[in-house]
Every structure is written in structure tokens, then in C-alpha cells.
Amino acid sequence: MITVHHLENSRSQRVLWLLEELGLPYEIRRYERNPRTMLAPPELRAVHPLGKSPVIVDTGTSGGDPRTVAETGAIIEYLVEAADGRLGPPAHRESALRYRHFMHYAEGSLMPPLLVKLVLMGVPIFGKAAQKRIQPMIDVHLDFVETELSARPWFAGDAFTAADVMMSFPLEAARSRGGLNEARPATIAWLNKIHARSAYQTALAKGGPYAYA
């Protein structure tokens, strides 16, 4: 059995969604953020030293020893492998390269400026001025994503893959606070499309509060 240590309004919603898409059995242990700091609770450190979410614990591994996996990208790769490669890299080489790119791009390039903007939103006086310098960096990424999604229905190609799951959180965050709007119709259409998936809706119902859906 896979246990997902799930923090409200966090990247771990993607893990629940992928598990629903793959049809793998799992259970959820929910955690709430500190209402003042919005940080994860200290109880998560008992699961993994970094005290972050998502973390999964798989008790169904061969040999019987539970396996703990942290980091969204690593978890998604682990789950795709556990599902015999379903929703993994496509067979076509160019599509497989795009899959690999977006699996890393989501957190490696797109998410950092969005996170910086979130931090600046909490800084009085100077925060607004600094946000104006960050927004053009975000816009470069949003223009790139719009171009990619104008060329194909999903990030890797013609079929939905785990790369779409990885890209969901930063683009939902961009919709919430990063300037993503109807001026980029292909990206908005993609968001609407993933939100309409039955597995997404089921994961949302099981996961609890999630501000970006």
C-alpha cells in the first residue's frame, strides 16, 4: 500500500491525481499548514528529515521494508514505474524528449520565479516594486508554454502523460498569482481540460482544500 503524506494547498495534490489516473491503491494522511506562517507542520519531519510534502511511503515493496520517496518528480517517476510505464514517456523519440524536458522544467525553471513572486507578495512597500521586475521573467515562461500548447494538445505530444501532471501545479499557481489569463488561450484551455478529468476531480475530493483548482 502507498501512503501519501499530503499537505493542503501543495504540490502533493499532483501525486493524488496521478495515483487516480493510474488506478493504484493508496491512502492519505493529511496535514494542515500553520495558519500564521503557512509552513508545513513539524510532524512531517517524522516521515522525512526535510519535513516537506509530498512524501510517499510504499509498504508493498519486495522484501517487506517500507520505502520512503520524496520530491514530486521522483515520486511521479516511481509511480509510473510501479504502473508498468503507463503515462510515462511516449515511444516516439521527440515526444519522449519533450516528456523528459517538461518533467524537469516544471520545478527547475517555471516554478522558481513564481515562488519568488509569492514571497514578494508578502513583503510590504518594496515587494510591489520587486514584483514588477519578476513578472517579465514569468512572462517569458508563460509565452513559451503557450507556444508549446498551441502546437499540440498535451505537453509531450498527442497523448496525456505524467508530464502534464507535473506541469499542473506551476501553471495553476501562475493562474492564481503569475499573470496567466485568457490572453494565453491554449494554456487556459489546457487547464480547463485537466480540471475536467474524472481522476483530477476524484483526487480533489479526496485531498481536501486546494486553492489552485
Does the structure show a pLDDT above 80 at 123? no
DSSP helix/strand/coil, 192: helix
Q: Which one, of 99, 110, 83, lies nearest residue 163 by Cα?
A: 99
Rg (CA), the chain: 17
The single-letter code of the amino acid at 164 is D
The CATH topology of domain 93-197 is Glutathione S-transferase Yfyf (Class Pi); Chain A, domain 2 (1.20.1050)
Where is average pLDDT lowest: 9-18, 30-39, 89-98, 124-133? 124-133
Q: Evaluate whether 168 touches 184 at the Cβ level (below 8 Å).
A: no
CA distance 208 to 13: 9
DSSP helix/strand/coil, 184: coil
> How big is the chain, counted in residues?
213
The DSSP output letter for 34 is: -
The single-letter code of the amino acid at 95 is S
Cβ within 8 Å of residue 122, ≥6 positions away: none
Kindly state the helix (H) or strand (E) to which residue 179 belongs, with its residue range: none
CATH 1.20.1050.10 positions along the chain are 93-197
Residue-wise pLDDT tens digits, 150-201: 999 999 999 999 999 999 999 999 999 999 999 999 999 999 999 999 999 9
Cis ω on the peptide bond leading into residue 54 (within 30° of 0)?
A: yes
pLDDT at 211: 82
Predicted TM-score (pTM) of the model is: 0.93
CATH 3.40.30.10 positions along the chain are 2-87+199-207
Average pLDDT of the chain?
93
CA distance 177 to 139: 12
Does the structure show a pLDDT above 90 at 38? no
Q: Evaluate whether 173 touches 179 at the Cβ level (below 8 Å).
A: no
In words, the CATH class of domain 2-87+199-207 is: alpha beta
CA distance 58 to 53: 15
pLDDT at 37: 79
